[in-house]
Amino acid sequence: MSATGAKTAIAPIAAEIPGLVNYTVSIADVPAESRYDGIAQLYFDSADALEAGFDSEAMDETAADPANFANGEDVLRFVVEEGVVVDET
Q: Is the dihedral of CA 49, 51, 56, 61 positive or negative?
A: positive
What is the pTM for the complete model shown?
0.74
The 10s digit of each residue's pLDDT in 47-62 is 999 999 999 998 888 7
Q: CA end-to-end span of the chain, whole Å?
A: 28
The 10s digit of each residue's pLDDT in 59-81 is 888 777 665 556 566 677 788 88
- Residue 76's Cβ-side half-sphere holds a number of Cα atoms within 13 Å equal to 9
The 10s digit of each residue's pLDDT in 7-28 is 667 788 888 999 999 988 888 8
Question: Is CATH 3.40.1160.10 what the domain over 3-73 is classified as, yes or no?
Answer: no
Packing angle of the helix pair 47-54, 57-64 (nearest 10 deg): 70
Question: Taking a C-beta distance cutoff of 8 angstroms, is the pair 21, 3 a contact?
Answer: no
Where are the extended beta strands (E) located within the chain? Answer: 20-27, 38-44
Where along the chain do its domains lie? 3-73
